[in-house]
Structure 1
Amino acid sequence: MPDGLAQKLGRANGASCPGYRGIASIFFTGTSGLTSLIGGILTKTVANTRGFYWTANTPYLPGVWAKVQRIFKRADGTDQWYPEKAAIPNPGSVSVETLLDADTAIPANNSSLDGLSGGITFTLAAGESLKIVKTAGLTYGAWSFTPFDGYSGFTNSWRADFSLRDAEGNITNHWGAPAGPFYLNDAAATAYMLAQPAVIVTGSSAYTIFLNDATVNDNRGGLSVAVYKLSASVMDMNPAHIIRECLTDTVWGMGTPASAIDDAAFAAAADTLFAENFGLSLLWVRQSKIEDFVQEILDHIQGVLYVDPSTGLLTLSLVRGDYDAGTLEELTPDNCDLTNFSRKLWGDIVNEIIVTWTNPENEQEETITVQDDASIATQGGVVSDSRNYYGVRNPQLAMDLAMRDLRSAGQPLASCTAEVSREFWSKRPASVIKLTWPEYGISELVMRVQSVEYGKPGDPTIKLDLMEDVYGLDIGEYSAPPSTSWEEISSEPEEASEIEIFTAPFFFAANSTVAAFVDSPEYPEVLAGVLATSDNNDIFEAELWDEVTLSNGTTEWQATATLNIIGRGTLVNDLALEASSTAVLFENLIGQTVPTNSGFVIIGEAGETGNEIAQITLADGDYDIARGVLDTVPRAWPAGTKCWFVDESTLFEDGLIRSSGETVDYKVLTRTSVNLLTLEAATLQSYTLTDRPWLPNRPANVVAYGEAFSEAALPIDATARVDPWITVSWANRNRLDEDTVILGWTDATMTPETGQTTAIEVRDLDGNLVTTHDGLTGTSFDVPDASFGIEEIVELRVFSERTDADGDFVSLQYFSHWVMVGGGVRITEALDQRITEGGDVRITED
C-alpha cells in the first residue's frame, strides 16, 4: 500500500499495513485543497474541505461498480506471454488520437529502395495503430526525382506517394503506385495528397515512413506528413492468452508447466484471433471450475484443446476454413470402415440463433438475433436456439458469432465414425479430411475430426469421429443414389431359430448390466446368458420372460431383460488345435451382432464344458483370434462348426441374479416392426445353472515333454526319454484378475487365487483314472513313470482346483495331452491297443 494512504489509515507506512491479500479493495481518499495521485491511487478534493463530496441528493452513499482489467501483467507480476498479440482493441470503443510528429519533413535526397535508411520509424504498443495524413503549410509539399523540371524528357517528375516498412520487413506503397502518380509540378502533386484519405495501419510493432527511390543527391522537395498514434479506449484480451494463463498460473490456475504447452500452436491461434479482432473480457471466480471456464472460452472461439500424442504438449487448435481441400487426405472404402453414418433431418435444423453479449458501456447483457429465412419457409416456422457469449463486448463480433453458429446449426450436416489404420495417426481434433463413399453418393466431402480414439497399445486401428465441415459445404459433391431396391421385410414375429442358455463366465458377469452382481457378487449368485438368433431380418430384438413368484404366492410371467439378436455363423475352414489362429473366415451369418475387433467367438455346440471362447484380435475381412480364453481351452474344430458372436456391449444376460444349481425356465419373445411374439407361441426353454463364475480358471500354456499340443491320434512320443518321468509345465491364471484384461493362451503365468492349486490326472485311453497328482503349486511337475501303471499311452488331464469358505471348486474345463510312455505299443485305426489272445499288449519290434 502507498505510504500516503497507509498514513491516512493510521499506519506509519505501507509496509506496516495489512495487504488484505485475496480481497479486492478500492480506497477513495483526498487531502484538503489537493488534487493528485498518491502512489498511483486517484485522489480528488474540493477546496477548504477534508476529503471530497460524493452525493446524489440523498444522504446515502450511491452504489459503486468498477471496471478493471489486466492484460500485459500476469497475476504474479511477471510479463505476459507474447505481449504483441495479447491486447485486441475493442472496435466499439472510443479511439484516442495522439500526435507523434506534426511534420516529418523527410528530404527527397534521403530516399531508399528498402526503407532501411532515410526514413522515420515509429514504434507502437499492442493494439495501437498509426495514422498518416497530409496537411497544408508543412515544410514540404511533394517531392521530385529529377534535379529540375523537364529533366531528360521527364515532363511529370513530381511524386505524391510514400512507402511504409513494418517491423517484419513488409513494404507497402500509399497514395500511388510504387512509381507514381506523377505530376507536372509541386503544387499539383501537393493538391493530390491533400485530397487523399488518411492512411491507417495496424498489426505491427513498428513502421518506417520513407520515400521509395534510389539514394541520390539530386532529388527535390520531400515528404511532410502528420503522424498520429491511435489507441482504443477499451482493450479486450486475446482468448489464446486467457487459456494459456488459466493453464499455467500456479496461484489460481491449473499450474501446468510452461514446458508442457505447445507455444507454437498457441501463438498461431493467437495470431488468427488477433487478425479476426476476436477479443474477450470476462471474469473468473473461484466458485467455478477453471476447466469449465476454459471450455467457455473454447466455445466462444470454436477451439479445441488437447494433448498432442506426438509431442505430449497441450495444443490449441481453431476450427477455421484455413485449408486447401485439394491437399487433404481422403477416406474411401479402400482404407477405412465407416459406421454410424447419419445426416441431420430438417426437424433437427435450427433456423434462428439468439446471441447474448455484454455491452461495455453499461455492463448489461444485450441480444442479437439472426434468422435463415429460406429455412424458416421450408420448415414452416421458427426453430430457435440461443448462445450466451458473455465475454464478447462489441456488437460486430457478436453478429459474426451469430452468423457463424447459424451456418453450422442450420445445415443438415453429416456425421460418422471411421475406423482407419494407423497411417492416419497424425489426425488430431479439429483436423480436416475428405470422405468419398459411393454407397452414400458422397464424393470428396470435407469432414472435421471431432475426436480421436487411439485404442489400446497394440491395436492396429484408430477411430475418428467425423462431422461435415461447414467451411467445406461448397466443396463436397453429392450424387443421387441409385433407385432403391428395397423390399418389404416387415413380418409377424416368429420364434428364434436357435437358442442357447449358459452360465455366464466371471468376465461376462463382472462386465454385465446387472449392477447388483457387478458391485458385490456373493456365492452362489450367478447370471444366466441367453443367446438367441434368427434369419428373419425384421426381428431386431427379443424379450426374455420368466415366471416370477409374487408376494401373494402366485406366479406371473414377466419380462426380465431385453436381448440382442445374436450373430450366428459357421467356420469356413478347419480350425487347428493351436494358441492363436489367423485368417479365420465365417459364413452363413445371420442375426445382428457381427465379428468385431476385441469381440468374442463362442465356438461349438457342446455346452459350457465343451465349447471354446476365442477373442478376435484383428478384424479385417478375415479374422485373427486368440484361442481358448477365459475359462476354456483351445480345441480342434472342423469346417462347418457353428459359432456365436458377442462383445462387451452385447445384451444377452438375464437381468435377475440367479443361484448356482437353479433351473431356469425362459420364454424368448422376438420383436419385429409389426409386433411382439406372444407367450403362447414361445417354446419353454429350461437350463440348470452351474458354479461357472466361481470356478477357478484352468491353467494355460500346458506343455508336456516339451510339446505344446497333442491329440489322441497323434500322441507325444516320450519312449526315448532318459528321466523316469514326464515333465508337465503350465501358466497359472486368476479369474479375478481377468475381469477387464483377457490373457492369451501363451501369456506369462500370474499369481493364482488364494487356495488355488493345479492337479494332473493320468488316465488310460478309455478315460479311466489311473493316478492323480493334486495340490500342485508353482508352474511345473514331473509326473513319475510309476503313475502310468501298465499303460503304454496315457492322457494327462491338467486342471485347477480351489478350496475356500464357499467349498471345493474345480475348473470348468481341463487341458489334455496324450503321451506315449511305453515302448512302441501298436495302435489300431480305432485307437485301441492290439491285445494278444493271452491278454498281453503286443509290442512292435524295433
Structure 2
Amino acid sequence: MGKGGSAKQEVNEYNMSMHLGVCWRADAITHITVGDKVAWRGNVQSNTQISISQPNLFGGPKKEGGVRGYVTALLGGVDQVLPDALAARLGRGTGANCPGFRGALTLFFTGTPPAGGSGGVQTSLGSIFGTRSVQRPGFYWVANTPYLKNIEVGVRRAPVGLNPDIALVYGGSRTPRAICFAIDLSGSMDGERLATLKSAMSTVLAAIGATADTGVIIDLAVVSFGRASSSIIRRGANGLDVAEVDSWVQSRNATASNTDFREGMNSAKVFFDATDQVIEERYLFFITDGEPTGYGTAVTDPGTIAQEAATALAEMAGVQSFGINIELADTTYTALIDNTPSDGVPIVEGSTPDGLVNAVNKALFGDNVTADANPAHIIYECCTNQEWGMGSPETLLDKASFEAAAITLNAEGLGLSLRWTQQDTIENFVSEIIDHVQATLFVNPRTGLLTLKLIRGDYDPDTLREINPDNADMLDFQRKGWGEITNEIVVTWTNPETEQDETVVVQDNGAIAAQGGRIISASRNYYAVRRADLATRLGLRDLRVASAPLASCEVELDRSAWDLLPGDVVRMAWPERGLAGTVMRVGPVDYGNLSSPSIRVSLVEDIFGFTIAEYEAPPGSAWDGDDEEPEPADDARIITLPAFLAGVARTDAGLSTDVDYPEVMAGVLASSDVGYNFDLWGATVQPDGSTFDEVQATCSFAGQAVLALDLASEARSLGVSLVGTPTNVLAAAGTVMLIGNNDDDETIMEVVFIAEEDGGTLTLERGLLDTVPRAWAQGTKVWLLDIDSDISDLDLLSDGETVSYKLLTRTFAGVLAPAVAPVLSGTLTARPHLPLRPVNATVAGIGFGEVDCVGLSTIPCAWATRNRLTEDARILTWTEDSIDPEDGQTTTLTLLDPAGNIIDTVTGIEGVSYDIPVGLFAGLGRARIRFSAERDGFSSLQAHEIGVLLENGYGYSYGNNYGGA
C-alpha cells in the first residue's frame, strides 16, 4: 500500500514598501546590505531604479527567505522632483504636489516598479510547496519571521570646497614594484615649472616612502635628463632611502639647453635592466615640457630622437611607460614613448603640482580601487558647509594650507571613510580626523585664519628657530625612560567588505629587547581606515613615536616668539638639560595678554628629527658638549665674482643687478672640517672716511678635493675622479667646480653626471662663464659648491681694491673670536666688466692640442662668441652656438712663438672666423694662436690657445721628413 503524502510547509512572506532616508546628499550608491548580507552591489551616480532579486539570501522559503523588489534611488539633488508613481503611493498624486526630499539621499523600496502603479508582480515560489502566483504589493524583506532585518547602504561622497581632482584618495598595490621617474631639466624648465616639479615629486615620493616603510618591496630611481643625464637609484628602498632621493631631486637645477629623450630613456633602461625579474610591476614616468632635441650629435629631427627613445623603451621588458607633458599641448613625441594609451598623455600645468601628482597617482593606484575621502577636504567642508557644518565663511580659513595638506595626503594614499551622525559635535568629529592623519588645526596669529598643518618631517633642521636660555625660561622638563615606552600597537580598522572591525599588530623588536622581552601594548582605533596596508602604516607611524624615549617640556618665551604656531618645529639648545640643537615640535601655545606678555609653549621632541638630535650628559656647571669648538678655516681664497655669479648673489639678496664699472663684488671660497658656515668679518667705511669692523655677510663653506688623475684640456671630461670629495657638497649633478689660484688662471666647471655604478666618477662641462678649459695635473686642488651657495660680500667694491676679511667659523659650540682668526687678503679685478672670451675656438676644425697645418697657405680659425650681459639666466657650455656679443666687442687673434713671445696680432675681428696668412708666423716651424675678446679698451679675463705645426723636419716632426722641409 503506498505511503501518504507529507504535509506542505507553510511559508509566510513579509512584504512592505518603505521610503528610507539614508544620509545627506551623496555622489554614488555602492551597495545595499540586508541582515549583514550583500543584496546588491553597483555604482549608481544618478536618480535611477535598481532591481534586486535575491530570494534565497537568508536560506530561501524553508528558512528566512530573501529579498526581492525594486529600489528607486533618489540622490537628493537641488532640483530633484519625486517621480509621480512614488508621489501617488504617498497619496500626493504627482511629484509636483509632493516634497522632493532634496538635500537627502533616500531609497524607495517597492515590490513593483514605480511606473507600474499599484499592481503586484507575479512570482513563482517553486515546487517545494507547490506552484502558485502571488501579488507582491511591497518589497519582499524576509520569510517566516516577523522581524525586519537591519538595512545598511554603502554610499560614496567626495567632500567639496577644495581641488576636486584629489578629493578622493585611492589605495595602492602591495606587490613589489620598480618605479622610475625621468624628469626633464632642460633650460625651459627653469623657474616656476621646476619648482612645481620638485613640489610634486616631493609629494609623490612621500607616498612611496610611506608605502616602502610598510614592507612593500620598492626599487626606486630618478633620472634627470637634458643635454646629458644623471640618476639616483635605491633598491629595496625604505622611507629614509626615499627621503635621500627626494633630497637629490630638490638639489637639481635646470641648466641644459637640450631635451634629449634618449638620455632619459637610456638611463631608465639601465635601471630596469638591473631590476630583479621577480618584480613584475614596473613603472616609468617620463615628464617633460619640450619637444626632443639632440646634443652632440648630427641627429636633430625630433621625430627621429623620439623614435630612438621609443626603441630603447621597447627593449625594457614589462615596463609601463607614462608620458606626462608640462604645459606642452603637442603630445606627438611624448606619445611615442608612452605605451599606456588608456590614459593618453596628460598635459599638466606648470604652476601647480596638483595635476602632476594626480597623474602619477592615477597611474600607480588607478580608479578601480575603493576610493576614500581626502581628510583635508573633509575638515574644510565641515568648517565651511552652511547647511550641516560650522558655516564659517571661506575667507576665515587659510585655504592654501588646506590645499597643501590635501596634496600631501593624496600622495600618501591616506584617505578616510567615515560618517557623522550629528550625535556628536563637529569639533569632536574634526578632532577624530586630525588624530587619524596627525595634524593640527589652529588660528594663525599672523593672519587670523584657521590653518591646517600636517605633522611631517618637511623641514630643514638647520633653518629652524632656536630656543635657548637667552630667550626662554624652562618651566618643566621630562624625558620618557625605557620603562615608560610602548613597544607594540594594535590598530583597529574597518573592513569595507564586511563593515566589521579588524586589527593589525605592529611591534618594535628593538624596544622589546631593551625591555627584557616584555610586551608593552597600546591600542589605536582608526575606524575611518578601510585598508589593512594603511592601518599598518599608521600603526608603524604611531609606534615610532611611542617606542622612542622622547623629551617634552614647557617653556616661557619672550615676545619674539609671538608668531610661533602649533605644529611648528624649533631647535632646542639647553646645556643644563643636555639638549644641543634637539628638534622639538610645538604643541599648544598660550600667547599671553597685556598683563602677562610672555608666550607659554608646550614642546615635545619631534620624531622626524630624532636621528638628527645631539645629546650630551648634563654638565655640572658649564656646557661641555660634543660639538667641536670653532677653529680657523682650513683653506680660503678671495675671488672676484664673475658677472653671472654676482647677478645671482644680488638677485637672491633682493638687490639691483645694475653694477657699473669700477664696481665689483668679492667672493670667498673657504673649507672647514668643523664649521657649518662662517661670518665674513671686514671693514665698513663710514661717511667721514673712518672704518670699523663688523660682519659683512654669513657665508657657506665650499667643499674641497683633489684630482685623482691628470685632467686634459677639453670641452667635456668623462670619468673624472676626485680624492677626498665631501659628499654633503657633491650631492649630485649641478655642482660647480673651480680649479686655480687666481681669477685669470682658474677654470670653472659643472658636474653634469655622476656615474654611481662606476665609483662615482664625474662628467664635467669645462671652461664655463669667463674661463677656458685648461689642463690640470693630478693632485690639483678643486673647490666644489652649489650655484646658489652664499659666498659673497654683497657690498659693492672697486676694481683694483685690496680687501681683507677674517673668517669667523661657526659651529654649534659657538663662533670663532675675531682676535684668533687670521686675516685673508686679496686684490679684486675688473672681472665682471670684461668681455667674455671666444669659445669653441678651433684651428682647421680642431680645438685642443697641436694642429698639423703643414703645407697650408692660410690657417683657418673659427670660434663662437658670448655676451656677459645676456648670459644671466643659465650657464652656457663651451660648445654651444654663438650668442650675439656686446656692442663694440671684437675678437683678437694673437700669434705667439713657442716661448710665448708675441709675433703678430690680428685685431678688430667682428665675425666668428678668420684665415691667418702663414706669412704672419715669420717662418716659425711651430707657434700658438691665442683667441681673446676686446671691448672699450678691456680684454677678456682669459684666452684660449691652440698650437700649430707649420713645418716638418728635425725637431718639428722627427721621422716624417728628416733633415728639412
- In the superposition, the TM-score normalised over structure 1's length comes to 0.52
| SS of match in other structure, 2:777 | coil
Query: Aligned residue for 1:409?
Result: 438
Taking structure 1 as reference, are residues 84 and 748 closer, same or farther at Cα in structure 2, changes over 3 Å only?
Answer: same
2:843 aligned with 1:707:
no
Whole-Å Cα distance in 2 between the matches of residues 656 and 701 of structure 1?
34
Residue 132 of structure 1, CA deviation: 3.6
2:818 aligned with 1:679:
yes
Residue 726 of structure 1, CA deviation: 0.4
Structure 2 residue identity aligned to 1:625:
L
Query: Aligned residue for 2:601?
Result: none
Query: Aligned residue for 2:703?
Result: 567
Residue 120 of structure 1, CA deviation: 6.0
| SS of match in other structure, 2:645 | helix
Query: Aligned residue for 1:473?
Result: 538
Whole-Å Cα distance in 2 between the matches of residues 548 and 636 of structure 1?
40
Residues 566, 592 of structure 1: 8 Å contact kept:
no
Query: Aligned residue for 2:126?
Result: 145
Which residue, out of 622, 632, 637, partners 1:495? 632
Structure 1 residue identity aligned to 2:644:
F
Whole-Å Cα distance in 2 between the matches of residues 631 and 649 of structure 1?
18
Whole-Å Cα distance in 2 between the matches of residues 597 and 591 of structure 1?
12
Residues 600, 646 of structure 1: 8 Å contact kept:
yes
**Which protein shows a greater Rg?**
1
Taking structure 1 as reference, are residues 308 and 766 closer, same or farther at Cα in structure 2, changes over 3 Å only?
Answer: closer
Structure 2 residue identity aligned to 1:701:
N
2:98 aligned with 1:126:
no
| SS of match in other structure, 1:737 | coil
Summarize the alignment of residues 156-305 of structure 1 with structure 2, pairs less than 5 Å apart: 175=142, 189=144, 192=145, 194-197=146-149, 199=151, 239=159, 269=168
Deviations 1:603-624 (A, max 9, x none): 133x111110001111342221
Query: Aligned residue for 1:329?
Result: 218
Structure 2 residue identity aligned to 1:760:
L
Residues 158, 168 of structure 2: 8 Å contact kept:
no
Residue 356 of structure 1, CA deviation: 4.3
Whole-Å Cα distance in 2 between the matches of residues 582 and 87 of structure 1?
67
2:941 aligned with 1:812:
yes
Structure 1 residue identity aligned to 2:947:
W
| SS of match in other structure, 2:792 | coil
Query: Aligned residue for 2:895?
Result: 762
Structure 1 residue identity aligned to 2:106:
S
Taking structure 1 as reference, are residues 510 and 122 closer, same or farther at Cα in structure 2, changes over 3 Å only?
Answer: same
Whole-Å Cα distance in 2 between the matches of residues 541 and 100 of structure 1?
70
Query: Aligned residue for 1:610?
Result: 745
Whole-Å Cα distance in 2 between the matches of residues 800 and 144 of structure 1?
102
Query: Aligned residue for 1:780?
Result: 913
Residues 47, 73 of structure 2: 8 Å contact kept:
no
Residues 569, 586 of structure 1: 8 Å contact kept:
yes
RMSD of the TM alignment (CA)? 5.6
Summarize the alignment of residues 36-75 of structure 1 with structure 2, pairs less than 5 Å apart: none
Residues 111, 137 of structure 2: 8 Å contact kept:
no
Residue 774 of structure 1, CA deviation: 1.0
Residues 68, 111 of structure 2: 8 Å contact kept:
no
Whole-Å Cα distance in 2 between the matches of residues 664 and 412 of structure 1?
47
Residue 584 of structure 1, CA deviation: 1.6
Query: Aligned residues: percent identity?
Result: 27
Query: Aligned residue for 2:772?
Result: 633
| SS of match in other structure, 2:649 | coil
Structure 1 residue identity aligned to 2:892:
A
Residue 767 of structure 1, CA deviation: 1.2
Residue 337 of structure 1, CA deviation: 7.0
Which residue, out of 764, 767, 771, partners 2:904? 771
Structure 2 residue identity aligned to 1:575:
L
Structure 2 residue identity aligned to 1:532:
A
| SS of match in other structure, 1:754 | coil
Summarize the alignment of residues 287-686 of structure 1 with structure 2, pairs less than 5 Å apart: 329-331=218-220, 333-334=234-235, 338-339=243-244, 356=383, 360=387, 398=426, 399-409=428-438, 413-414=456-457, 472-474=537-539, 490-513=627-650, 515=653, 518-535=656-673, 537=674, 539-589=675-725, 593-594=729-730, 596-605=732-741, 607-619=742-754, 620=756, 621-686=760-825
Summarize the alignment of residues 17-36 of structure 1 with structure 2, pairs less than 5 Å apart: none
Query: Aligned residue for 1:716?
Result: 851
Whole-Å Cα distance in 2 between the matches of residues 322 and 337 of structure 1?
9
Taking structure 1 as reference, are residues 394 and 507 closer, same or farther at Cα in structure 2, changes over 3 Å only?
Answer: farther
Residue 400 of structure 1, CA deviation: 4.3
Structure 1 residue identity aligned to 2:772:
V
Whole-Å Cα distance in 2 between the matches of residues 766 and 785 of structure 1?
19
Taking structure 1 as reference, are residues 632 and 362 closer, same or farther at Cα in structure 2, changes over 3 Å only?
Answer: closer
2:880 aligned with 1:747:
yes
Structure 2 residue identity aligned to 1:554:
S
Residues 670, 676 of structure 1: 8 Å contact kept:
yes
Deviations 1:526-547 (A, max 9, x none): 1101111123x2x222111112
| SS of match in other structure, 2:539 | coil
Structure 2 residue identity aligned to 1:146:
S
Taking structure 1 as reference, are residues 322 and 570 closer, same or farther at Cα in structure 2, changes over 3 Å only?
Answer: closer
| SS of match in other structure, 1:654 | strand
Whole-Å Cα distance in 1 between the matches of residues 433 and 749 of structure 2?
50
Deviations 1:465-503 (A, max 9, x none): xxx988722367979999999997533322212111010
Structure 1 residue identity aligned to 2:147:
A
Aligned pair count? 518
Gaps (5+ residues) in structure 2?
A: 1-24, 29-42, 61-66, 77-104, 113-117, 172-193, 221-232, 248-378, 394-419, 440-453, 461-507, 512-532, 549-609, 617-624
Whole-Å Cα distance in 1 between the matches of residues 732 and 837 of structure 2?
26
| SS of match in other structure, 1:657 | strand
Taking structure 1 as reference, are residues 591 and 617 closer, same or farther at Cα in structure 2, changes over 3 Å only?
Answer: closer
Residue 678 of structure 1, CA deviation: 2.2
2:836 aligned with 1:697:
yes
- In the superposition, the TM-score normalised over structure 2's length comes to 0.46
2:755 aligned with 1:726:
no
Residues 681, 694 of structure 2: 8 Å contact kept:
yes
Residues 69, 110 of structure 2: 8 Å contact kept:
no
Taking structure 1 as reference, are residues 323 and 637 closer, same or farther at Cα in structure 2, changes over 3 Å only?
Answer: closer
| SS of match in other structure, 1:680 | helix
Residues 596, 647 of structure 1: 8 Å contact kept:
no
Taking structure 1 as reference, are residues 471 and 662 closer, same or farther at Cα in structure 2, changes over 3 Å only?
Answer: farther
Residue 737 of structure 1, CA deviation: 2.3
Query: Aligned residue for 1:4?
Result: none
2:928 aligned with 1:795:
yes
Residue 359 of structure 1, CA deviation: 6.4
| SS of match in other structure, 2:815 | coil
Residue 550 of structure 1, CA deviation: 2.6
Deviations 1:708-734 (A, max 9, x none): 211xxxx32211x3x411001111111
Taking structure 1 as reference, are residues 812 and 516 closer, same or farther at Cα in structure 2, changes over 3 Å only?
Answer: farther
Whole-Å Cα distance in 2 between the matches of residues 646 and 307 of structure 1?
21
| SS of match in other structure, 1:693 | helix
Residues 595, 616 of structure 1: 8 Å contact kept:
no
Residue 597 of structure 1, CA deviation: 1.7
Whole-Å Cα distance in 1 between the matches of residues 813 and 825 of structure 2?
28
Residue 845 of structure 1, CA deviation: 3.5
Residue 408 of structure 1, CA deviation: 2.4
Taking structure 1 as reference, are residues 361 and 790 closer, same or farther at Cα in structure 2, changes over 3 Å only?
Answer: closer
Residue 200 of structure 1, CA deviation: 6.6
Whole-Å Cα distance in 1 between the matches of residues 763 and 746 of structure 2?
19
Whole-Å Cα distance in 1 between the matches of residues 632 and 808 of structure 2?
7
